[in-house]
Amino acid sequence: MKKPHILAIDDERVILDSIIKLCGGEGWQVDDAIDGDAALKKLSAHSYDLVISDIMLPDTDGFEILNYIQKNSIKSPVIITTGFTTVENAVKSLKTGAVDYLPKPFTYEELISCLSRGLKLGEILKLTDQSLSDTDAGTGSVVFAPCPSGYKRLGYYSWTYPENEGACKIGITDIFLHTIESITGIEFMKLNDEVVQGNVCIQIETEDQLTHSILSPLSGIIVDCNKDVEKEISLAEKDPYFKGWLYTIIPGNPEQESENLVSCSSDRL
């Protein structure tokens, strides 16, 4: 079986060495680049299953790396990481096409969880010919449902849908659920807690003992938690867009924040 091949881009040698060591323990092969120039040379010469890039580089930034990958139709999913952790960076990363966002400093589990999802998402997008509108990968080995028309999503993480009287439902996308193992536990926030767009709104534990943090698609106040999902976790997996919703919120600034989201109507070609 072919080992996953990852390109790690960071101007801190200690970070690159840590990624190489930890990924090696998972059986993953890692190339490294200390700056943008080295990264672009490797991207032009090799094919990678996944790229993880710091935002701040000596000669460019992670967004320029992401832009280069997109302009050159390189198939590698990109994870953005940074020590300058802000909501704006998280949201911008997902809006501009990164598949995930990993703040520094990160733990072993956070790194492996993030990379595992990125590698799995890369496999899914290849099988579906990079079209989120596909519900059958051709081989029948991967089946997922794009979120319905009228919904909007934050990257590949989460969705939101407006309801009556200004409230919005939020939940997890089906494609995200296909990048993780079966859910064994969900840690909800509480009623009247505030969620912030691009910040963690819920944490999921899976059979492989990894924890996955879900980023909220909108900011607002939680007015309802899905008690059915709290009682029966599998609902979030079986019916993520309807019965498996997570929260109802009263959003604070939905019109402005919606500009950072992707319309699910665009997922249907």
**CATH code for the domain of 169:** 2.40.50.100
Determine contact, residues 34/11, Cβ cutoff 8 Å: yes
On whether both 103 and 176 belong to a single domain, the answer is no
In-domain check, residue 57:
yes
Exposure string (b/e) for 145-179, b if CB count within 10 Å is 16 or more? Answer: ebbeeebbbbbbbbbbbbeeeebbbbbbbbbbbbb
* Residues spanned by the domain of 244: 152-267
On whether both 206 and 164 belong to a single domain, the answer is yes
On whether both 210 and 97 belong to a single domain, the answer is no
| Mean pLDDT (whole number) for 200-206 | 95
On whether both 186 and 78 belong to a single domain, the answer is no
Of 127, 161, 196, the last residue of a domain is: 127
**β-strand pairing of 50-54 with 78-82:** parallel
On whether both 161 and 114 belong to a single domain, the answer is no
**Which whole-number Å values give the CA distances from 91 to 70, 98, 130, in the listed order?**
18, 10, 22
On whether both 10 and 123 belong to a single domain, the answer is yes
Whether the pLDDT of residue 19 is over 70: the answer is yes
Rounded to the nearest integer, the mean pLDDT of the chain is 90
Lowest mean pLDDT among 12-21, 47-56, 79-88, 140-149: 140-149
Q: How many structural domains is the chain composed of?
A: 2
**Which whole-number Å values give the CA distances from 72 to 11, 76, 96, 105, in the listed order?**
23, 11, 15, 31
Of 127, 144, 160, the last residue of a domain is: 127
Whether the pLDDT of residue 236 is over 70: the answer is yes
On whether both 178 and 100 belong to a single domain, the answer is no
Of 127, 142, 170, the last residue of a domain is: 127
Given this model, what pLDDT does residue 211 score? 93
| Mean pLDDT (whole number) for 126-143 | 52
In-domain check, residue 59:
yes
In-domain check, residue 145:
no
Please report, rounded to a whole number, the percentage of residues in the chain having pLDDT higher than 70: 92
Whether the pLDDT of residue 139 is over 70: the answer is no
In-domain check, residue 88:
yes
Give the helix ranges, DSSP H, for the chain.
13-25, 36-45, 62-71, 87-95, 108-127, 174-177, 227-231, 234-238, 254-257
| Mean pLDDT (whole number) for 18-37 | 96
Given this model, what pLDDT does residue 153 score? 95
On whether both 160 and 119 belong to a single domain, the answer is no
On whether both 122 and 218 belong to a single domain, the answer is no
| Mean pLDDT (whole number) for 236-259 | 95
On whether both 194 and 250 belong to a single domain, the answer is yes
In-domain check, residue 146:
no
In-domain check, residue 50:
yes
In-domain check, residue 169:
yes
On whether both 164 and 78 belong to a single domain, the answer is no
Whether the pLDDT of residue 137 is over 60: the answer is no
Whether the pLDDT of residue 267 is over 80: the answer is no
Cis peptide before 254 (omega within 30 of 0): no
Q: Any idea what the CATH number is for the domain that residue 114 is in?
A: 3.40.50.2300
In-domain check, residue 199:
yes
| Mean pLDDT (whole number) for 113-132 | 82
Whether the pLDDT of residue 140 is over 60: the answer is no
On whether both 51 and 159 belong to a single domain, the answer is no
